[in-house]
């Protein structure tokens, strides 16, 4: 399954100056399911606040592929939503059972609407069955 997917490095990850700090000899994190083109909030007519969510996922034994498939489906559907600035999945370069979903929303209203969508409810339930989730939210000015 994973081998059949086209895995691509994000442009912002391929530059040596922008690589994540990793343990010695570790592979860099790979970005898969990336937002094709990040939309700036001004282009979306939002100027007050953006919300960044980092969702860390650790799979139960034998459930990583199932969880990653659910995450990639969630990303694909969520990227089409109004107010979605970016929505990406990063595989860990050091842990085979961990990935992170990074989402950026143009407003609290857009995030609230996202949480009510059928695809969010479906895929988050699948992820919760496959492992543990930890969510961090950051609010920052869009300027």
Residues 6+ apart with CB under 8 A from 124: 74, 133
Token pair, residue 47, equals 């100027």
Mean pLDDT for 93-111 is 95
pLDDT tens across 24-45, in order? 333 445 556 555 554 554 454 4
Sequence-distant (≥ 6) Cβ neighbours of residue 26 within 8 angstroms? 93, 94
Domains present along the chain, CATH in parentheses: 28-141 (3.30.70.100)
Question: For the residues 55-82, what does the mean pLDDT come to?
Answer: 96
pLDDT at 48 over 70: no
């Amino acid at each position: 399954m994973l081998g059949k997917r086209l895995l691509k490095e994000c442009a912002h990850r391929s530059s040596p100056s922008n690589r994540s700090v990793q343990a010695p000899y570790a592979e860099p994190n790979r970005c898969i399911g990336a937002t094709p083109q990040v939309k700036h909030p001004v282009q979306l007519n939002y100027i007050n606040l953006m919300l960044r969510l980092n969702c860390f996922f650790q799979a139960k034994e034998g459930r990583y592929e199932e969880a990653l498939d659910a995450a990639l489906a969630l990303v694909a559907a969520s990227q089409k939503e109004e107010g979605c600035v970016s929505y990406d999945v990063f595989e860990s370069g050091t842990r085979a059972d961990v990935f992170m979903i990074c989402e950026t929303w143009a407003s609290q209203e857009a995030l609230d609407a996202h949480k009510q969508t059928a695809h969010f409810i479906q895929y988050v339930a699948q992820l919760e069955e496959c492992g543990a989730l930890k969510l961090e939210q950051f609010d920052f000015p869009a300027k």
